[in-house]
Amino acid sequence: MSFEVGLAIILTLFPFGWEMMGFPHVRIVGVLSWAACLGILAHLTLKSVWFQRKFERYPRSVSATLGSLATLALVGLVTVGWWLWTGSPSPNERTITISAYQPVYPNPMLVIKDQAFEDQDVPLDGYLYDHCTFTNVCFRYEGQAYQLQNATLKKGGQVCVQDQRLKNLMELQQALRLMVSNASLSQGVRVPPR
């Protein structure tokens, strides 16, 4: 019994150790380890003296209870399977809505809807992209108005600018992002608002 309890503790902590070793967060690791823990718990319960006495005394009610628990476990398994199958997109894919409006834009924005762009330059200035998919693109930006509505970004991509002022701003933002990621949040390092 002590072996099974130790195994359950190890399996419970496995997803935490998985991520601490630098492996990516994967839902299936947590689901499988917790399912194994629940299996061990069910095994320990079924072979316990208390359960054996109850089963000898009330065999029909215990069988009905076990049947209900098995049905509940099956429904839970199907639900978790559906959740894993239809879950959120991969870390390399996300859907965003963002816009940069200026008070005056020389012409109305050109709307592009339900298009896919892959491995190419995509101009932002003066365009409204609605439900478009961008895979590994270079967004050309010169500082004018644009909008991305429910745009799906896949496999990275980057913002490409010609204006030196925008390049300087992007470098500053990247440097600040690196400073924050290197700071330990557990130590409470925080930049006060101004």
Are 10 and 72 within one domain?
yes
- Domain for residue 169, yes or no? yes
Q: Indicate the residue type of 22.
A: G
Q: Are 119 and 137 in contact (CB under 8 A)?
A: yes
Are 31 and 62 within one domain?
yes
Tokens 């069910």 -> residue: 42
Total structural domains in the chain? Answer: 2
β-partners of residue 147 are 99, 128
- Domain for residue 193, yes or no? no
Residues 6+ positions from 54 with CB-CB distance below 8 Å = 62
pTM (global) more than 0.95: no
Are 69 and 97 within one domain?
no
Q: Which of 98, 127, 125 is nearest to 111 (CA)?
A: 127
Q: Which of 50, 85, 120 is the last residue of a domain?
A: 85
Per residue in 5-54, pLDDT (tens digit) is 676 677 667 766 766 676 666 667 667 777 777 777 777 777 778 878 87
**CA atoms of 154 and 116, how far apart (whole Å):** 11
* Angle in degrees, CA 128, 150, 106, rounded to 5: 15
**CA atoms of 174 and 156, how far apart (whole Å):** 15
Per residue in 158-186, pLDDT (tens digit) is 888 888 888 888 888 888 876 665 554 44
Residue 191 in tokens: 């930049």
